[in-house]
Structure 1
Amino acid sequence: MPTIAVETKVIEDAVRTACRAPSLHNSQPWQWLFNGGQLRLFLDPSRVMDTDHSAREALISCGAALDHLRVAMAAAGWQSHIDRFPNPNSPSHLASIEFMPTEFVTERDRRLAGAIGVRRTDRLPFSAVTEWQSIEAVVASSANRQAVHLEVIADDLHPRLKEAAQIAESFRSYDTRYQNELCWWTAPFESWQGIPYSALVSAAEGNRVGIGRVFPAPHRPERRLEIPEDHAKVLLLSTDDDTRADALAAGEALSATLLECTMAGLATCPITHLTEVDAARDLIRSLMDYDAVPQVLIRAGAVPVTEKVPPPTPRRLLSEVLRLRGYGE
């Protein structure tokens, strides 16, 4: 495909937007290289959790950033042509992207890109979603682009999800490395990485959700008391296999799902700790209607319209994640 020149400023803006993607503990495990009109995405091994043994969580995070990048470039008038895992000898090289100008930018392109700036990871309880069926069809069609399955976990199975959460927590309660990582990424030491204090939930708030990851609990007045119990829809993204390519694809589907839900006015929260522990992952698998590998769960629901939107979680400086010449120089 002939290379079409893209201004560096367009790439910088798109990468900055792509880096709004969610990542495990806001670790942001990506590096970008723009050179010769081609943008490359790399996994940054230095930002992979010690407990993320296969880097599956990091790959999911990078997949979400890759899809955010595609959305941002579409809104800027460029179609992305993505070659995933282009170099078998470089496992950290996740994608090479080249661009072709589009004839016009649709209103949907603009709305999707706008959703990136609006989306937040919301760990508080949600109200039930009205008219879910009309939303579900759009979300499912977007998530399935990369052969990722989307399933809505039936409401009557949510107690089993809470059981899976309890299993995951019990397995991790005496895992020193996991607990140390959790404390490190939630400590107020940096403003550009990790999970800020404002995004954490208290023990009482977490109990009202039941399936969220247990973080170090802040001490503050309980919020969103008008929703005494979580009534979120729980979506499951799964793949036919559990390869690196499947993890990257699951991340791309995660991005698509989150943005569709955001455009529909829903709050969302990705849930990955239930698939980090084999026993909990097996329980999730037993709830599925088909044979596939659970990758990510997503809570989606309504929140009070009068509630103030929290500030965006800070991200690393663009100069730290984007290189305009050789990677690793």
Structure 2
Amino acid sequence: MPSTTVSTDVVTRALRRACRAPSLHNSQPWQWVAQDDTVQLFLDKDRVLYSTDHSGREAVIGCGAMLDHFRVAMAAKGWTANVDRMPNPNNPLHLASVDFSPMELVTEGHLRRADAIMVRRTDRLPFTEPPDWAPVEARLRRAVASEAVVLDTIADDLRPDLAQASQLTESLRLYDTSYHSEIRWWTGAFETSEGIPHSALPSSAERDRVDIGRAFPVSHHDDQGTGVGHDHSKILVLSTFDNDRSSVLQCGEALSAVLLEATMVGLATCTLTHITELAASRDIVASLIGRTTTPQLLIRVGLAAHGGELPPATPRRPLDEVFHVR
């Protein structure tokens, strides 16, 4: 179907919502450019966290998550976003070109999914076990539409092995000063535009009750998970069959789809990438899911400890820093 020119105002509002997408340490490594009847997505190489994310893989995942958020936001406005991934083989930073065609009908599902963007949070507190998991798991699997990406659930009896992989990752980085400096930087004084604010970090006691998670600096607020013991979340793994940039981008899109689907059914989520950043722990994850694929990230899914009260939203950069019209 031929593309149609969409007003800059519609694109701007959709991108403002899509900027709520998650990214490594809330680094927001994306740049968008509107040109003629298309919108172009670029990786911002200056926002790649090279001590943590040597290859820029996680930055591409973040861009993929925002790409899917953008499609969801545009659908709620009555537009199908048609995506051409990696349109310029001579420019690896040019991740996608998007044009638009009108939709016949905006359903309640389209609107609810767009609303979920504003409700979703990265929740680092312990979760209680999600109820009625079998149909929920099936729904999350259906959310992964790309043939380049596969979703698996870590069996509950293998969780101790996964916790060991998480601990291995932290032990291998115990003396990595550049990594820890990067962590401190992105959990510093960024309360207005980027990074992870202290309100989004667990206390020492809360962190001790989650056996699978990155070792962020602890906050000094009171425990928020009153009445919740150790984490009983389900652990999902998103893997790709290769490490091509297009596949990694689609993994980010799948991440967005799973997070929004979980949010729509009332579940809390926390994306985990520290275990897949080092080969040793990544190989353990691959063995636990019994695949030869490359695990790209994990997601904790469960019932939130805060009883339905949303944690504060993390900050985002002003839109004029990430979106430009030519």
TM-score (norm 1): 0.96
Q: How does 1:176-255 map to 2 (within 5 A)?
A: 176-255=177-256
| Matching residue of 2:31 | 31
Look up the SS of the partner of 1:2 in the other structure.
Answer: coil
CA offsets, 1:205-261, max 9 Å, x none?
111011111011122322213111111000000011122122111100000000000
The alignment status of 1:132 with 2:133, answered yes or no, reads yes
**Could you tell me whether the CA contact under 8 Å between 1:148 and 1:253 is conserved in 2?**
yes
Task: Give the stretch that moved more between structures: 253-262 or 168-177.
Answer: 168-177
Letter in 2 for 1:26: N
Greater Cα offset, 33-42 or 143-152: 143-152
Q: Deviations over 1:263-299 (max 9, x none)?
A: 0100000000000011110111111132211001000
Distance (whole Å) between structure 2 residues aligned to residue 249 and residue 212 of structure 1? 24
Deviation larger for 220-229 or 68-77: 220-229
Counterpart in the other structure of 2:169: 168
Matched, 1:17 2:11: no
The C-alpha deviation readout for 1:38-96, integer Å capped at 9, x for no partner, is 00000000000122111001000000000001111111100111000000111100000
Q: What residue is the counterpart of 1:7 in the other structure?
A: 7
Give the deviation of 1:320 after TM superposition.
Answer: 0.3
Report deviation, 1:190.
4.6
1:2 CA drift (Å) = 3.0
* Contact 1:239/1:246 (8 A) holds in 2: yes
1:307, distance to aligned residue in structure 2 (A): 4.3
Structure 2 length as normaliser, TM-score? 0.97
Structure 1 residue runs without a partner (length 5+): none
Aligned to 2:163, the other structure's residue is in SS state helix
1:44 maps to 44
Which consecutive segments of 4 or more residues in structure 1 shift more than 3 A? Answer: 304-307
Q: Deviations over 1:119-170 (max 9, x none)?
A: 0000000011111111111110111434310001011111111101111101
Determine if contact 2:184/2:217 at 8 Å carries over to the other structure. yes
Q: CA RMSD in A?
A: 1.2
Tell me if structure 1 keeps the 8 A contact 2:226–2:305: no
| Letter aligned with residue 12 of structure 2 | E
> Structure 2: which 5+ runs fail to align?
none
Contact 1:144–1:150 (CA under 8 A) maintained in structure 2? no
Kept in 2, the 8 Å contact 1:146–1:253? The answer is: no
Count of paired positions: 325
Q: Using the alignment, how far apart are the partners of 2:290 and 2:278 within structure 1?
A: 21
Equivalent position amino acid for 1:25 in 2: H
CA distance in 2, matches of 1:307, 1:241: 38
User: 1:54-133, aligned counterparts within 5 Å?
Assistant: 54-133=55-134
Measured after TM superposition, the shift of residue 17 of structure 1 is 1.2
Contact 1:147 1:239 (8 Å CA) reproduced: yes
Match of 2:270, SS state, is strand
Name the CA distance, whole Å, in 1 between partners of 2:308 and 2:108. Answer: 27
Q: Distance in 1 between matches of 2:175 and 2:147?
A: 37
- AA in 2 matched with 1:10: V
Do 2:140 and 2:262's aligned partners in 1 also have CA atoms closer than 8 Å?
yes
**SS at 2:235's partner residue?**
strand
Do the aligned partners of 1:82 and 1:95 also contact (CA within 8 Å) in 2? yes
- Cα offset for 1:202? 1.7
Deviation at 1:314, TM superposition (A): 1.1
| Mean CA deviation greater in 268-277 or 217-226 | 217-226
State the one-letter code of the partner of 2:219.
P
Q: In structure 2, the residue corresponding to 1:145 is in which secondary structure?
A: coil
Amino acid paired to 2:183: L
TM-superposed deviation, 1:304: 4.7
Q: Does 1:256 align with 2:236?
A: no
Task: Measure, in 1, the Cα distance between the counterparts of 2:272 and 2:158.
Answer: 16
